[in-house]
Structure formats: structure tokens, C-alpha cells
Amino acid sequence: MKEKYYITTAIDYVNAKPHIGHAYEKIIADVLARWNRIKGKDVFYLTGTDENAQKNAQAAEEAKKDVKKFVDENVKYFIDLCKKLNLSNDYFIRTTEKRHIKISQEIFSKVLKKGDIYKGTYEGLYCQGCEAFITEKELVNGKCPEHNKEPRYIKEENYFFKMSKYENQMLDLLSKPGFVFPDYRGKEMYNRVKEEGLKDLCVSRKGTNWGIELPNDKGYSIYVWFDALINYISALDYPDGELYKKFWPADAHLIGKGINWFHSVIWPTMLMSAGIKLPKQIVVHGYLTVDGQKISKSLGNTIDPIKLVNKYGADPIRYVLIRDIPSGEDGDFSEKILTEKINSELANGLGNLISRSLGMTEKYFEGRVPKGKNLIKFDLDKLNEHFDKIELHLALAETWKYIDECNKFVEDKKPWVLAKENDKELSDVIYSLLDSIRIISILINPFIPETSEKINKKLGIKLGNYKDVKPNLLKQGIKVEKGESLFNKVEAEK
């Protein structure tokens, strides 16, 4: 039996087109999914859309469209984004799917039957953007910090989940290092539960015409966050599906820091109540910013990732988002940074190494891999350590150190001089470069898979896996082809 790895992203609201923040999260998940496949694991990567939210219905109303039609139209942009980014997701879930609706109602009924759901009245501040009640303590200048809007005060009769019942279990869970990454994000959740206590959660909405109907009361719909979180198991056909038996519990729920509470606190308490195993880890990433400000639809400073991919290709965007932003932290993104990295690190670094190594093979060895041994070393243990710690920016930097080392090797060995002098070392030098390029194609695959495929095509080989990241595996005599450059230099628009 292969070791399994199940990774999910948050599911996206479809009240507007996707922005670069959506792309960032999906790329991180794809890097982790691809790396685990290279390591020989059986991987299931899930992403999708959150379609039952009232903000989707509100956006449809503003667009003067039927809600279902509006949602169906907008979902296409998110599916297209997955294709454009060359994601390797195994499934794209929509929470309007019949099986998700059925399983959400089953989980609600299960928690209700246990006595963990009751009817009561709630009043408080409600943020439409968060689709959640928030406390005055959370407000910044009287506004929700996530959406920069004043919440509205509402009072209504609803159904409540006895989340308070699981306070001690949550404190115990959140006190364990590793459940939430980075650790300080877990401490934030622990401190919040410790200081405020765990309050019961409103899990229904009254009088709405969009959403999943309560199984016990047709006048209400299930609170969107209660149903949305269930997608992680409904996509696996909980409770009897083969995928569920194989892949649950999740190895990593990848989310943005703004929804940490929902995933690190609300989701585990729901699972505890329903008698379902908890996920192994919640991986929290930071926000992308423009001039230090969070990119979001509600703030109106979004960047269209599909347009960027159409202009520059998927790999440069994947590369820059991982390379420039420390895992778990916020990071600035701009087209200027993107073009600088394309020119300096992709074109001059990797592209130049491939071009001249294959060019010299064609010139000195008639385009065939010479007999030789690889003289360039690579520290795989260090790369592994970065992946294990989810330090993806450092893992990519470690890979690029190897690329830089290969370029330095060319300058130090000067194969063009060795060729003039008919030096026997030329064979080892060219072999070292070609075999290292083979290894590089494996190492960069999680980050820039299209480029990895192009390199393998030039080398006339198939993509290797983790056990192939060792020297001297490239066979002598293989025909290589320099072909076109991997990256063209670009000029930033003013």
C-alpha cells in the first residue's frame, strides 16, 4: 500500500471572478501535491467553490441575474483558473452538488441527534463579507478588518451548535505544536479560546431562498460555514466511499489566515461532535498585498491571474509567488517583480543553463550524451527538510542554488577551452551538466511543471521521481535537442 497524502484548499466564493490571491493558495497546494507524488505517495488534491453563500445571492441580485445562472457562470472562471495554472487537482467540488447537499444534511442531523444543536435567539454584529457574527473587539475603527465595512446589527431566532461543549478538547488540541502551521497561528487560536471562551455557534439562516435546507426545519437553511467545511469529506463520499476510507483524515487543509478560526476551531468541533477523525494539520498562509494592502474583491484592488497567465505563462507566476513570499507570511506582488524575476532568474539562470549545456552537447558530441560522471553535488536532505517544514520559498531557493552552482561550474571548467585543447575532462563536464539538468527537471517539477516537461523533452527522457535525485543515472548516447529557449526576456509595462 502506498502512503497517502490528502491536501485541500479553501473553497472560493463565486460572487466575482478569481483574483491573484486565489491563484496563490492553489499554487501552494499544487506544489505540495506534486512533491508528494514525486515521493511516491498516493495523492488526492481537492479544490472547488463555495456556492451556497448569501453573498453569492446578493451579487446575483445586483447583477439582476438568477442566482443559479449567476453561480454557474462564475464557477467557470475558477475552473478555467485551475487549468491555466496547470494545477494537478484530482477533483473540483461545487457545494451545489447533490451529494454535498445530502451529506451536509446528514452531518447536521447527526449533530442534532447527539443533542449538540438547539434552537435559540441570537443578536449581534454580522459581517456580510465574512458571513459571520463578529465581536466589537474584532472591529477596527468600527469596521470589519477583513472587508473594511461596518457590520450590521441583527437579532433572530436560529439553530445553534453547542461548540462551547468542546472548549477543553480544543484547548488541548491547539496547545499541540504542529496542528496549525505556522505555530504562532495556532497560538493565536489557543489564546482566543482561552481568553474569550468557546461560545455556541449559530448554524442556520432564517428566511433565505438560497442555500441548503435544514433537514429538520424547512424555514431555515444551513449556515454557509457549517456546510462549506463539510466539502472536505463530501468530496470523498463520506461515510462509505472508497476515497473517504483511503484518504481521510486530511493531511493538510491549506487556508488563508482570515479563515483560520473556522478551520482550526469550528471545523474540529464539528468533527468531534459527529464522531469523525480530525485532520492532521491546518496550513495557514498569509495574504498577498499591493503596496502593503491585502488584495481582495471587497477592497477593489484585485489582480486578474488569468490575464497574467495569458500574458506571461503559468510557470513564471507560479515561480514568483512561491520564491518571493515566505511560507505563512504576507508578501507583496507586482508585475514589475514578476518581469524582473523572469529576466534574471528564469531566463538568465535556468534558461541559460539549459541552452548552453545542450548547445555544447550538440557542438562537441553531435547532440548525444557523452560517457562521463557527474561532478556536481546536490544536498537533497536540506531540500527535504524545507518541504517537511513547509518552507516552500526556501525549498525553491535551495533548488536555485543548485542551478546557480551548475552555471558556476560552466564558468569554472570553461568547456570551450577544454574542447580546443582536446581535454578528456570535457566529457565529464558535459555529462555533469546534462545529468544535473535531469535532476533539476525533477526538483523544479512541483514549482514549474511545464518547464520541467520541456526540459525532459529536450533530454529525450521521462520525468523521474524522488529516488532518481542522485547522480549518474542519465544514459550515455541519448540524443538531446537544444530547441527553443525556455524563457524569453520581457519588459515591464510602465
pLDDT, tens digit (0-9, with 9 covering 90-100), for 331-359: 999 888 999 999 999 999 999 999 999 99
Q: What confidence score (pLDDT) does residue 66 get?
A: 95
- Exposed e or buried b per residue across 66-86, where buried means at least 16 C-beta atoms within 10 angstroms of its C-beta: ebeebbeebbebbeebbebbb
Task: Express as a percent the part of the chain with pLDDT over 70.
Answer: 97
Is 82 one of the annotated active-site residues of the chain?
no
Q: What per-residue confidence (pLDDT) applies to 42?
A: 98
**Torsion sign, CA atoms 124, 129, 132, 136:** negative
- Quick one: which of 344, 470, 357, 478 has its CA closest to 413? 357
Residue of 144, 202, 253, 458 with catalytic role: 144
How is residue 258 annotated by DSSP?
Answer: G
Share of the chain above pLDDT 90, in %: 84
Q: What CA–CA distance (Å, rounded) separates 403 from 397?
A: 10
Is residue 144 annotated as part of the catalytic site, yes or no?
A: yes
For the cut 60, the answer to whether the pLDDT of residue 185 exceeds it is yes
When pLDDT is cut at 50, 70 and 90, the band that residue 492 belongs to is low
Which residues lie below 8 Å from residue 177, measured CB to CB, with a gap of 6+? 183, 186
Residue 19 bears catalytic tag: yes
pLDDT above 90 for 129: no
**Average pLDDT, integer, range 476-491:** 94
Beta pairing partners, 134? 125
The pLDDT, as a whole number, for residue 124 is: 74
Distance CA 95, CA 11 (A): 9
283: exposed, middle or buried (C-beta count within 10 Å: 0-12, 13-18, 19+)? buried
Model confidence pLDDT, tens digit, residues 430-467:
999 999 999 999 999 999 999 999 999 999 999 999 99
CATH of domain 335-468: 1.10.730.10
| List 147, 253, 341, 393, catalytic entry | 147
Of 82, 84, 100, 127, the active-site residue reads 127
Strands (E), 266-362: 282-285, 288-290, 293-294, 331-332
26, 82, 84, 130: the catalytic one is: 130
| pLDDT band (50, 70, 90) for residue 480 | very high
pLDDT at 298 over 70: no
Cα 281 to Cα 3, 176, 239, 286, 446: the distances in Å are 17, 11, 21, 16, 20
- φ/ψ of 239, rounded to 5, equals -100, -5
The whole-angstrom separation of Cα 492 and Cα 58 is 38
Q: What is the pLDDT of residue 296?
A: 67
The answer to whether 86 and 272 are in contact (CB under 8 A) is no
Q: What dihedral do alpha carbons 463, 465, 467, 469 form, nearest 10°?
A: 60
Q: Distance between CA 205 and CA 218 in Å, rounded?
A: 11
pLDDT for position 297 = 62
Q: Which of 84, 100, 263, 294 is catalytic?
A: 294
What burial class does residue 445 get, using C-beta atoms within 10 Å of its C-beta: 0-12 exposed, 13-18 middle, 19+ buried? buried
- Please confirm, yes or no, whether 297 is among the known catalytic residues: yes
Using the predicted structure, report yes or no on whether residue 6 has a pLDDT greater than 80. yes
Burial of 121 (0-12, 13-18, 19+ CB in 10 A): exposed
pLDDT digits (tens, 9 = 90+) for 217-226: 998 999 999 9
**DSSP at 163:** G
CB atoms within 10 A of CB 422: 7
Single out the catalytic residue among 22, 100, 257, 285: 22
Is 393 assigned a catalytic role?
no
Contact, 243 vs 44, CB < 8 A?
yes
Q: Give the domain ranges of the chain.
A: 335-468
In this prediction, residues 367-377 reach a mean pLDDT of 97
- State yes or no: pLDDT of 295 exceeds 80: no
SS3 call for 396: helix
| 100 given a catalytic annotation | no
